[in-house]
């Protein structure tokens, strides 16, 4: 059996020391602006994480409405469907653009009772340059499909 012995001191690597040394030449004002930007981005991510599912739905509907208003009137139904569906990542969604540009229907499926009731309260009708209205056809049950009409 062989052994290798080294009497050299161990190499220590500290990522924090490396970052501190690399920032030593940066002006203090620039470091403060960068820190403010990082804190602002982190705060935004925390606020998104703390939103309820219904609040996320409201935000997704508003983003889809803005997208609908920005689409040219001569888009094909497939292009409209793809442009609007991209705002509902991770959700079972279907988009009906047959009456575009007057109305686009967005159906969100598999919503639980609590999300349905909260969405009914906070996203029933959203006014703005584009109106978003919930179709009041069905009451909230255990598993729901809610239909919103986006009217640019």
DSSP assignments along the chain, one per residue: -------SPPP---HHHHHHHHHTTS-HHHHHHHHHHHHHHHHHHHHHHTS-HHHHHHHHHHHHHHHHHHS-TT--HHHHHHHHHTTSTTSEEEEE-TTTTT-EEEEEEEE-HHHHHHHHHHSSEE-SSSEEEE---S---SSEEEEEEEE-
pLDDT value, residue 1: 59
pLDDT value, residue 12: 79
Same domain, 19 and 73: no
Q: Is residue 8 domain-resident? A: no
pLDDT value, residue 60: 93
Q: Is residue 10 domain-resident? A: no
Domain boundary among 49, 75, 92: 49
- Count of domains observed in the chain: 2
CB of 77 closer than 8 Å to CB of 95: no
Q: Is residue 36 domain-resident? A: yes
Phi, psi at 12, each rounded to 5°: -110, 135
Same domain, 108 and 129: yes
Same domain, 67 and 120: yes
Same domain, 45 and 57: no
Same domain, 133 and 80: yes
Q: Is residue 78 domain-resident? A: yes
Q: Is residue 3 domain-resident? A: no
Phi, psi at 22, each rounded to 5°: -75, -25
Same domain, 135 and 93: yes
CB of 93 closer than 8 Å to CB of 32: no
Same domain, 57 and 120: yes
pLDDT value, residue 2: 65
Q: Is residue 7 domain-resident? A: no
Pairing status of strand 104-111 against strand 92-96:
antiparallel
Q: Is residue 4 domain-resident? A: no
Same domain, 90 and 121: yes
Q: Domain containing 81: what range?
A: 53-151
pLDDT < 50 regions, the chain: none
pLDDT value, residue 66: 93
């Amino acid at each position: 059996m062989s052994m290798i012995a080294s009497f050299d001191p161990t190499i220590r690597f500290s990522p924090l020391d490396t970052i501190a040394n690399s920032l030593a030449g940066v002006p203090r004002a620039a470091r403060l602006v960068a820190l403010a930007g990082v804190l602002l981005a982190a705060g935004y991510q925390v606020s998104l994480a703390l939103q309820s599912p219904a609040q996320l739905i409201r935000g997704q509907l508003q983003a889809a409405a803005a997208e609908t208003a920005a689409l040219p009137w001569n888009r094909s139904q497939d292009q409209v469907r793809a442009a609007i569906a991209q705002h509902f990542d991770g959700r079972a969604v279907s988009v009906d653009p047959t009456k575009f540009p007057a109305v686009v229907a967005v159906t969100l499926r598999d919503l639980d009772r609590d999300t349905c009731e909260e969405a009914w309260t906070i996203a029933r009708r959203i006014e703005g340059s584009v109106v978003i209205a919930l179709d009041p056809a069905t009451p909230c049950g255990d598993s729901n499909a809610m239909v919103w009409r986006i009217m640019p």
